[in-house]
Structure 1
């Protein structure tokens, strides 16, 4: 059960965020209540504690403390200025817009600038919400100080999180998701013809979740490991485990088919399943496969287990790396056993690097050989900035101008709707610009916030009717809503907006301002704020979704070409380079592209053709990234692996792939280009040509990855409308 929790919330980051925020609010209420302060002070303290807690996103405890200390004077000044300018309507509105511009512009200064800007804006909003006036300003400034102190106590004492602790929990989550992926592989092995689609969907989902956790680990390497060499080693082992696990699923899909499965099938929902039925139910090879997949799952899930039984399982599975130990059966089934052997080696490497485990007393000869290979690779691992955009081209400057214009529109429109609660429109306009970069993303986020708000209004009505005037019952419900808001925020922005609005309904009850008309006004102001945000994004230095996705697509292609060419150079005998770091940059660029295509792939999008095209292109790029990662991992084995040797022919054979990636990128930029097709990669490496070394020096796996990468890159030409030209025989041979 704990593994399930760890897998559903890698690093327990969402759980910690929810507990830390609710803990800070509860502490604030507990400190303020004995002093007999009014409900407005309690509400202000609760909201300020929440803001002071969630705004700080730095990874190390030291910088978090500094930002929190700086946040207190910033919040106090913001509350004081909001109070002093209350009666000066024009000056107050102008200052609010300037504050919004500065808060968004502050993102260019990193996590601290982003946090201080958010604290300044949100506490200004709190002053407007609870109605701070000059006479009670000192009391509210004291409330702000209490809230910040309680936030610090919750962060550093009640729910402490260290970089090492988060990294340890992320490692556990990776293992748990690795075991869940093997569960899906077992389901695929047993699935009948009617169940194979569902099993394949589970396999895709678990593969994507494992990749997500690998990216999270890579993002924490610097803080979670003692030095650069350790970080590089962990990165290598995690990448090995991810690649071998994904390859094992592909081999299983091939084994139950009459044709080799396409890697695209693992990345594109709705892709056709390869023809063929399930493996024979009573076939000995299938029974052995199931037993060994279960054994591999045990090795992955229970890293701390020891003893002769574990050693027996490990020895048996690693034995499949030796051809003599493969069971009799079709070649495709034997390939699955080979994949199990490689996955067991990756799990062993993961155990050694993450746990320092050296339980080698019962090692077989094959297990000892695997350890020697891993040790040799570990010993071999030794521990270009992009030009900064300036002026209006800088994303933070553009976003600051857009949100300032949108907020100005929201202030004017909000005043027409309500002279007292116009700030809800400004808040929505501000929020839809957070973590968005294109007009389409802002439109989708605004839609989700409006939907969550409408649903939250209904929940707020119900909750307000239940709590009545019971103050502490109401605060208890608010705490539950706040916890749910932060726990669900990374999963669904609609759910987060729902819990925010439900909590507001209860808060209005506490402030004796609750009515149906107030909640309806909340919906109206939300819709207005979202509309103002979209209008500003569309008219002020707009970044259209097509432009944004094209920029990110070009970045993905550039990284893909970089990883592929680097791997091919190293496989051809060139000097070793940091390929895993390049592969990490490719994965991050692909994740950014996936987020930017959400406006195109959203269920409410009416452009079905573009939706299908976007999904297909992303799936093809994920396929390309998988094969490029695999090539990079294989290339880094060259210095130590006895069965892989450099072959200078690979550089020439892979030239077409790299050139085709460049041609697709040039087409995206609007430059004339064409993709070339020709003979298969394997045929370009036939022995005896050009006086080159024998064919056997290049492993079949390298050739398979190159061939699939070549096919996937050519496959990008059709949805992106890149011209395709066939090579002549002489051109292909040159």
Structure 2
């Protein structure tokens, strides 16, 4: 069965472009938005917060409250909205209900103690300790701590007095009620709906990655570096979306079996897309491309030329990639034209249907067929049963394989209790002590700068400790907040001069800045700080306390608060970046060893184990490590050698994780595919790799360890040396490729980590 240009009577287009160009403008815009903001999380956060603030302002204005109360209500609605992050709506409602009394108590104490310097400051420090320590009790504890701290700050910001408390209580009650109305009625988000939007984002990003593959196919020598960088970015963004889906599967699916099925299909599609990119790059290179090239930012592209083989094969591959992108984007029941495209691509899974080409190009066509199979599996998992009337024998076989895999998915649970740190070693306790010490320094220094605005220093000190775990992370966050504040001060001065005494114009700009603040927060902490500072300039204008000296003081207090936070983090129970990254590196290596050993064991004939959860734990460990190394890889770091080493190590680990996930995906095919036989020789062949991972883990954990990483004959030669080589088919060859790449990556990982590498004597 050869590929050739076909014209579909229904669509009137070439088969490679079925509906690709027929998408409406609205659909294309939705796909772009879904890809840029997975799950529409940023858009939802911005709209929900702006809606809560706007509704609060409207209600308070209708009740004829003065401007100071409007400002307090706006800030109360903002806090009540952004503090609550729980996934289940019922849990959100409980936390919001508990948050109101916490807010009333906090603002009351702020008003009563605001004029009592020593007692008020001492209480503020205690409140800060309790708010941070509350993170130990999960999302509800974190939310209530945020509400308590922020509302105390609001009372200081507006200069609340005890006589004003009854009106202030009414304002906060309105703010929390409006926040609830917007959250549950105006901009509702259900776990099921959020998961559906994340799945749409996964499709959109998968389609973007296929588009990047197309660009890589056609890129000239001068364009290949940019094309490869786009493939890297697309691969990373697809993986990010897969992780976001994994964290919300339990809440967004009706049962655990469905959750595991979706997780499996998402993983299959991700692996298939990454493999397609790697094989395409290899086909254009003089030698087989290294998987590391897809994971190391800035790595130069290998020397490439035109795709080898006949021009017809290149033209067919181009059309097939366009067709694959169409399959990804199409949802619901496919039409006749799409069914034909699907059948054509799935046919590449059979050797006799591959077009005449070089072996490397034929590998790319095989990868297109496997990607089409993964897309069909994803469609079945997400959209339910499909029309089978147009199935070819190859498509029917792929569908039967998917059905068999779906039926074999187990729901066994595995519980394990990890040894958790206690006392001051517990992260929440340590952070609470650190931020309390830092806040004490910020209060003292802040009051020396200003007896009226000292709380800005405390706010900055508090914020730099949120979602940070090491001194380096706090340093980077403090730097970013200071940078955003510098530009925000300038913007605040300009905006305050523009709006002058126009109250509602200022409030309208505040709403715009609030939306921008929440929409950009996950993307750039510097941008968020910029919008926060600009908004505060407008709020000062509304309170008639604006002057450029106030905004400059805000900048000074921000710098002081960041410095106090960094000093506290460095001197009080410090967690140095090196220690933090080493701990997370050990965790990632342990998860890598678990996935590799379990997958190889199953491929060698051991009983089936839960590989999905192991792979998910590996992805989570890698995500934590990637975040922790940001201080080391930051562009302004003066330690260039360490930055290069950190990026290289993370890229190598991501390469290892890709091959381990691929091994796990192949291992899970065994119970449902009679044509795939377990190969007992793989356990012996992969033993060196697993031992080397353990050796590196031991050396990172204990510098005095003496174990060394071993190299030697290739994995393939170890397997060939075993008996019974003729009994095993192509699946063993695919496994070998992943094992060899994994073995090479693990040995490569030893060198930047200063682990000795030796070759055994013959």
| Shared fold per TM-score greater than 0.5 | yes
Q: Note the C-alpha offset of 1:282.
A: 7.5
Counterpart of 2:47 (choices 19, 27, 39) is 19
Q: Note the C-alpha offset of 1:609.
A: 0.3
Q: Match of 1:732?
A: none
Q: Match of 1:44?
A: 72
The number of aligned residues is: 728
Contact 2:56 2:175 in 1 (8 A): yes
Counterpart of 2:135 (choices 107, 122, 132) is 107
Deviations 1:639-677 (A, max 9, x none): 112442101111111111111001111111123321000
Are residue 88 (structure 1) and residue 116 (structure 2) matched?
yes
Contact 1:440 1:545 in 2 (8 A): yes
CA distance, structure 1, for counterparts of residue 179 and residue 304 of structure 2: 59
Are residue 127 (structure 1) and residue 155 (structure 2) matched?
yes
Q: Match of 1:685?
A: 719
Are residue 237 (structure 1) and residue 270 (structure 2) matched?
no
- Gaps spanning 5+ residues in structure 1: where? 730-734
| TM-score, scaled relative to structure 1 | 0.98
Q: Note the C-alpha offset of 1:695.
A: 4.4
Q: Note the C-alpha offset of 1:510.
A: 0.5
Q: Note the C-alpha offset of 1:83.
A: 1.1
CA distance, structure 1, for counterparts of residue 191 and residue 731 of structure 2: 42
Q: Note the C-alpha offset of 1:37.
A: 1.4
Q: Match of 2:688?
A: 656
CA distance, structure 1, for counterparts of residue 729 and residue 309 of structure 2: 36
Q: Note the C-alpha offset of 1:385.
A: 2.3
Q: Match of 2:629?
A: 597
Counterpart of 1:403 (choices 424, 435, 445) is 435
User: 1:504-543, aligned counterparts within 5 Å?
Assistant: 504-543=536-575
CA distance, structure 1, for counterparts of residue 173 and residue 62 of structure 2: 16
Contact 1:628 1:709 in 2 (8 A): yes
Report which stretch shifted further, 462-471 or 667-676: 667-676
User: 1:201-212, aligned counterparts within 5 Å?
Assistant: 201-212=229-240
Q: Match of 2:597?
A: 565
Q: Match of 2:727?
A: 694
Contact 1:76 1:141 in 2 (8 A): yes
CA distance, structure 2, for counterparts of residue 326 and residue 643 of structure 1: 20
Contact 1:60 1:223 in 2 (8 A): yes
User: 1:359-508, aligned counterparts within 5 Å?
Assistant: 359-383=387-411, 384-508=416-540
Are residue 66 (structure 1) and residue 94 (structure 2) matched?
yes
Q: Match of 1:264?
A: 292
Q: Note the C-alpha offset of 1:690.
A: 4.9
Contact 1:678 1:728 in 2 (8 A): no
Quickly say closer, same or farther: Cα 1:280–1:649, change in 2 above 3 A.
closer
Contact 1:187 1:199 in 2 (8 A): yes
Contact 1:78 1:121 in 2 (8 A): yes
Deviations 1:125-145 (A, max 9, x none): 000000110111110011111
Q: Note the C-alpha offset of 1:698.
A: 4.7
Deviations 1:111-167 (A, max 9, x none): 000000000000000000001101111100111111000000010011000000000
Deviations 1:684-710 (A, max 9, x none): 1116x3567734375211000000000
CA distance, structure 2, for counterparts of residue 661 and residue 281 of structure 1: 40
Are residue 318 (structure 1) and residue 352 (structure 2) matched?
no
Contact 1:260 1:274 in 2 (8 A): no
Are residue 613 (structure 1) and residue 645 (structure 2) matched?
yes
Contact 2:677 2:728 in 1 (8 A): no
CA distance, structure 2, for counterparts of residue 618 and residue 500 of structure 1: 33
CA distance, structure 2, for counterparts of residue 24 and residue 520 of structure 1: 30
CA distance, structure 2, for counterparts of residue 208 and residue 221 of structure 1: 20
Quickly say closer, same or farther: Cα 1:161–1:325, change in 2 above 3 A.
same
Quickly say closer, same or farther: Cα 1:9–1:281, change in 2 above 3 A.
farther
CA distance, structure 2, for counterparts of residue 250 and residue 691 of structure 1: 31
Report which stretch shifted further, 264-273 or 221-230: 264-273
Say which SS state the counterpart of residue 712 (structure 1) adopts: helix
CA distance, structure 2, for counterparts of residue 394 and residue 223 of structure 1: 28
Contact 2:308 2:358 in 1 (8 A): no
Are residue 553 (structure 1) and residue 581 (structure 2) matched?
no
Contact 1:647 1:697 in 2 (8 A): no
Contact 2:225 2:300 in 1 (8 A): no
User: 1:343-362, aligned counterparts within 5 Å?
Assistant: 343-362=371-390
Q: Note the C-alpha offset of 1:440.
A: 0.2
CA distance, structure 1, for counterparts of residue 60 and residue 675 of structure 2: 69
User: 1:140-179, aligned counterparts within 5 Å?
Assistant: 140-179=168-207
Q: Note the C-alpha offset of 1:276.
A: 2.9
Q: Match of 1:3?
A: 31
Contact 1:685 1:695 in 2 (8 A): no
